[in-house]
Amino acid sequence: MRRRIAAMFSVLAVTLALGAPAHAVPDQFKWMSCAAGTAITGHIDDGAMNYDGRLMLHGTFQTCHPPTQYEVFELAVYLSNGQTQGRATTYWAGPPLPPNFEAKIGAPDETQAVCLLAAPNVRLDCRAVTITVTPGGGRLKEVGAQIPIDSPLVNRPAPASIEYGMVDQGPNCPTCWG
C-alpha cells in the first residue's frame, strides 16, 4: 500500500514538474477586427427574463467578414452603482448561427441597461432594463426601449474576459456566469 501511494505521489510530482497538459480549447479567442472603411453593426431585437433570472437576448449582426470560430462579441449589463458586467460569446455559439444570435447574461437587481458590443468599448445597440416587483415579492426584469449608445447610463467600458483558463473557460463557457 505504501508503495502505491509513493508511486502516485511520484507521478503527481513529475506531472507538476512538466507542467499541465494542453487543453482542448486554444487561447485564440479575439475581438473581430475590421478593415478600414468597414464595421460591425448589430442590434438587439428582443429580450426577456429567463427562468433562471438571466436575460435572454435575441438579435442580428452584420459583420465585416464571416466570423471565425474564435472571434467573439459581448453582451454587457450596466448597473446603477456604476459597475458593468460583460460576457463574451463566440459568433458561432448558436443556434441560431450568424447573422442572428441568442445569448444569456446575468442581470443583477441593479441593472439599468444591457448592450450588444463588438468589443469592450464598441457598443452597437443598447436597451433599457426595467425591474418590476411582483405581488409575491419577486423581481421581473424586462428589456425595454432602445437607448443611445452614448447615453450616460452606458458610456463606460465593459470589460469581458476572453481568456481560457481553469476558472473562466472562455466565451460561451457552460460553467461560467452569464
pLDDT tens track, the chain, 178 positions: 444 444 444 433 433 333 333 334 445 788 988 999 999 999 999 998 888 888 999 999 899 998 888 888 999 999 999 999 998 888 876 667 778 888 889 899 899 999 999 998 999 999 999 988 889 888 888 899 999 999 999 999 998 877 655 444 555 553 344 4
Sign of the torsion angle spanned by Cα atoms 134, 140, 142, 148? positive
C-alpha cell at 96: 441560431
The pLDDT score that the predictor gives to residue 160 is 84
Residue 134 lies in a domain: yes
Report pLDDT for 58.
92
Contacts of 156 (CB under 8 A, 6+ apart): 78, 82, 84
Can you give the pLDDT at residue 122?
92
Q: Is residue 24 part of a domain?
A: no
Residue 22 in any domain: the answer is: no
Cα 68 to Cα 33, 93, 124, 153, 161, distances in angstroms? 11, 11, 20, 32, 18
CB 82 within 8 A of CB 38: no
Considering the domain boundaries, does residue 75 fall inside one? yes
- State how many domains the chain has: 1
Parent domain of 54 = 29-178
Res 88: pLDDT:
87
* pTM for this entry: 0.76
Cα(123)–Cα(165) distance, integer angstroms: 26
Does 125 reside within a domain? yes
Burial zone of 61 (CB within 10 Å; 0-12 exposed, 13-18 middle, 19+ buried): buried
Write the single-letter amino acid at 39.
A
Beta strands in the chain (DSSP E): 30-31, 41-49, 55-62, 71-79, 84-90, 100-105, 111-119, 122-133, 139-147
Nearest alpha carbon to residue 115 among 148, 91, 81 = 148
End-to-end CA distance of the chain: 46
Alpha-carbon span 58 to 139, nearest angstrom: 21
Distance, CA of 114 to CA of 85 (rounded, Å)? 10
For residue 121, being part of any structural domain is answered with: yes
